[in-house]
Amino acid sequence: MINKNIKLVTLFLCIILVISACSTTDSLNYKEKTIIEDALQYLTSDQCNGRLVGTKGNRLAQDYIVKKFKEYGLKLYNGTYYHSYPQTLINIKNVKFELILPDNVIRRFKYGKDYKVSFFNKIDLKLPIYTENINGEDCIILAQKYDVIKKLNQESNIKGFILLNETFSNQVLTERVQNEKIILDVTKEVYDILKDNTGQQVSISMDYEKKVIEENNIIGVIPGKVRDEAILITAHLDHVGGIGDRVWRGAVDNASGISVLLDILKRLSEYANTNQLNKDLIFCAVNGEEAGLVGSHNLALLLNYDYMKKIENINLDCVGQKGKDKVMIDSKGTIESNSIANKIKEFIEDKGMKAEITTGEFCSDHISFENAVNISTGADFNVIHTPIDNLDKLDIVYMNKISKILSEFLIKYLSSEIEKKESELYYDRIRKELNEERNKLNFGEYKFVEINGKNCCVRKSSFKGNKEEVSKIYNNDLDFIPEEIAGIKLEEIFITDYRCEFKMPDIDEHVVGKVYKDKILASNINNVEIIYYDENKNLPFISILIETFFKDDKNEMDTYNNIWNSIDCDSKIKTENYMFFLKRREDKKKEKHIDALYVKQEYKNKVYLTRVESRFIDECKNNEEIIRFIKNNNIEGIIKGLIDWLQEK
């Protein structure tokens, strides 16, 4: 039995220890980790291993975000937090890279530590390495700058490249970087070793596996008073992963955006407990951004359907890097996007912080939405996508300030910006009923329906189907549309004619509720798009869209001018029959990419504007390759056939 005095002494000592602990805590100014700090630490942890899409680390990040969504009271979206979509993955297998020295001494390099794959293919090479093309001998070129690769890429004797990558920046491998000539990125140490041994042979081999999995965006909603409009807050959860012992943790890109999103969610959820928002507020941690915006592309398809495109997107990417003192607001350039950007900028500046608006300069998930802005503090390419993108690169205090101000902005925006009048709500209900009736019709059909005591005409003016179905509708075999391009089969043809010369029928000549068939003419088509998807149907392989604009219609010509003014008319390519104009964009690294080719054709009363989009165009190294793509795939013949068809009466 323990002595009573010992018990009293023990109790006294325990009290002293507790008091000491409390005073020590105060002296350290201890506080519980903030939402932002907690999210950052987990998302950049060894467990998440760089959050590469399709990996265990990415799924752990998803589970963490779902846990926080539940904890902060976010409602399920359509009964779940998981919005699934198809994601194509490329996994490199059996990769080997060796330097063969004299006397058959072999120097083996370690994947992930010494080198990584930048452009891939299935290969097994054993060739000498040079810094320049010598005597047309089959070889591999060691390059200090990417310009060397651009210059020598067309040389048939060069079978691959090894490129110095001092920051060891990484990217997600997609079909866009599958190439006949592989490129390995190497560290400065390995580059110097290879340079000292030019003329010696290197052995490089690799294989790869391509598969399609079901991946997820993580989504939830705070329901608002008006349920057919929404503000969407997004940030991408994925990064570029890890190889072996090396992890690209992605603190700035984009654990920062996710952590700010979660902090905003907590603040807005608490506000919504006692206040009703005017419209839905959706939060989504999107996936597959680093693989080409795949997750947000599929999310846009869902939300544009659910909300009939009445969505405003605020995307968070690369928020709060140290040394940055200005919030960058990148607008999509639409009237609505510019309006949101200006309101955010004004609000931030009123709070005493710096802000700046740019247009189309930041490549992230807001691109997938029509009316959208991206919030960042800028992208430093000496940091993002490199192994040094760690927590020490972030200014947590600055991130908390940004989160607080954006939360206050959203509360103000959702409390006063769109308070709908009763008349607006009435017309919303009318539009909803009309859409429900329209969905019951087939293409080219119309009818009168009675809604709230008034007779309204509804018409089904869009159609999506295959070539055979379109041929039957228009009594034209459409031979000029090929069944496949570059081995990719025609997937669908999408037709709309809602802007064309449709005259309102006379109600006195019709029976309410009876379905009538309109005369379908190709000349009444507003636009037609033919789409060839890749085998996984993630994104179009090639899309050819022709839009028609009536010259005597001011609204249509305003739309045409807005599109045409966004095209870089100084960049053009002349082919046998057409002048192709190039529309370009810059990615995060300020590298130029070709978004699309445009052709303009003017006739007596119409302007035809053709847009050609394909991942192959962006991969073309020069104008000659673009012309070759156009010629080999008979793009000019397709355009001519479509325009001739659209003039049929």
CATH of the domain at 369: 3.40.630.10
**Spatial CB neighbours of 193, under 8 Å, sequence gap ≥ 6:** 99, 107
As a whole number, mean pLDDT of residues 20-34 equals 41
Domain presence at residue 362: yes
As a whole number, mean pLDDT of residues 433-449 equals 85
Examine residue 342 and say whether the peptide bond preceding it is cis (omega within 30 degrees of 0).
Answer: no
Residue span of the structural domain in which 191 resides: 90-211
* Element of type H or E holding 470: helix 467-474
As a whole number, mean pLDDT of residues 493-517 equals 73
Q: Can you give the pLDDT at residue 427?
A: 62
Same domain, 472 and 569: yes
Which residue, 416, 441, 458, sits at the end of a domain?
416
For the chain, the domain total comes to 4
Amino acid identity at 594: I
pLDDT at 3 exceeding the cut of 70: no
Pairwise CA distance, residues 361 & 248, whole Å: 24
Same domain, 245 and 113: no
Same domain, 130 and 63: no
Same domain, 475 and 536: yes
Pairwise CA distance, residues 249 & 391, whole Å: 9
Domain presence at residue 421: no
Which residue, 362, 386, 416, sits at the end of a domain?
416
Pairwise CA distance, residues 599 & 542, whole Å: 16
Same domain, 70 and 117: no
Same domain, 504 and 586: yes
Amino acid identity at 543: S
Domain presence at residue 568: yes
As a whole number, mean pLDDT of residues 58-87 equals 95
Share of the chain above pLDDT 70, in %: 88
Same domain, 113 and 236: no
Same domain, 268 and 358: yes
pLDDT at 357 exceeding the cut of 50: yes
Same domain, 465 and 561: yes
pLDDT digits (tens, 9 = 90+) for 179-217: 899 999 999 999 999 999 999 999 999 999 999 899 999
590: its two tokens: 């300020």
Pairwise CA distance, residues 530 & 38, whole Å: 47
Which residue, 391, 416, 441, sits at the end of a domain?
416
pLDDT at 419 exceeding the cut of 60: no
Same domain, 617 and 488: yes
Q: Can you give the pLDDT at residue 587?
A: 55
Coil, helix or strand at residue 156: coil
